[in-house]
Amino acid sequence: MDKRTFIKDIGLIGAGVLVGGKSFAFKWENLSMAPFQPDPLPYDFTALEPHIDAETMHIHYSKHYQAYIDNLNKAIVANPAYAKQDILSILKNVKPTESALRNNAGGYYNHSLFWKWLSPKATPPSEKLQKAIVAQFGSMGNFKKEFAKAAAGVFGSGWAWLVVDNKQLKIVSTPNQDNPLMSFSEAKGTPILGLDVWEHAYYLKHQNKRPEYIETFWNVVNWDVVSADYSKLA
């Protein structure tokens, strides 16, 4: 069942909505019917050890990520104006006051990007991307320092991003599950690399040592994917 058929069939069924004269409370009896589904993890939960431990990956992917997806699907049922939109359109059109859609659409999309930016195989940036990073930040070392500063400086929960904005590389950060593609975000650009600095992403292994987590992140960055994303935008 595609998203449009799904919404047509059950879009009116929500808490307090009358269908056929009766009030129904919506329940997810079959998650495979939902319009958004988790992207498969491209490696085993153990694959990123010792840098990111298996238990953290399992909880992060199976619990947190899945919860964002489930709640996004429920929010769409409650907001049928978004029923025909893909995730990028939702991100661009969601209003800051639409908390359920804002938080869960961001949580779904941000994590779907995050999984593909990680890899057990260390790869260098492409020559094109490396030249652009050096031109913008002076060196790879300086880039990593600036990125780490942005990630460590997020107050509470959020993300640090490397984005392309008007073909220029920028380092930005967003709170909670906001994304630079959201119209109201102070940070602008298309993400090509991001780091989740919510505590659930690192606390089991690193406790309150966020800088330690940020440093170990560079051991599992999938620069092949990052470089390919950059090439599409530069």
What does the pLDDT read at residue 223?
Answer: 98
CB atoms inside a 10 Å sphere around CB 53: 17
Instruction: Look at residue 131 and tell me if it is in a domain.
Output: yes
What does the pLDDT look like over 40-65, one tens digit per residue?
999 999 999 999 999 999 999 999 99
Nearest to 195 by CA among 163, 229, 151: 151
Instruction: Look at residue 18 and tell me if it is in a domain.
Output: no
The CB-side HSE value for 10 (13 A sphere, CA atoms) comes to 21
Give the three-class secondary structure for 176. coil
What does the pLDDT read at residue 32?
Answer: 56
| Under 8 Å between Cβ of 110 and 196 | yes
Kindly give the pairing relationship between strand 158-165 and strand 190-196. antiparallel
Instruction: Look at residue 215 and tell me if it is in a domain.
Output: yes
Query: Residue 2 pLDDT more than 60?
Result: no
* Total structural domains within the chain: 1
Nearest to 177 by CA among 230, 229, 99: 99
Instruction: Look at residue 156 and tell me if it is in a domain.
Output: yes
What does the pLDDT read at residue 23?
Answer: 29
What does the pLDDT look like over 13-40, one tens digit per residue?
333 222 233 322 344 445 556 689 999 9
The domain that holds 135 is classified in CATH as 3.55.40.20
Instruction: Look at residue 193 and tell me if it is in a domain.
Output: yes
Over residues 184-204, the mean pLDDT reads 97
Over residues 197-214, the mean pLDDT reads 96
Q: Cα(130)–Cα(136) distance, rounded to whole angstroms?
A: 10
| Under 8 Å between Cβ of 162 and 129 | no
Instruction: Look at residue 142 and tell me if it is in a domain.
Output: yes
Q: Cα(39)–Cα(15) distance, rounded to whole angstroms?
A: 28
Instruction: Look at residue 179 and tell me if it is in a domain.
Output: yes
Instruction: Look at residue 69 and tell me if it is in a domain.
Output: no
> DSSP character for 221?
B
Give the domain range for residue 133. 127-233
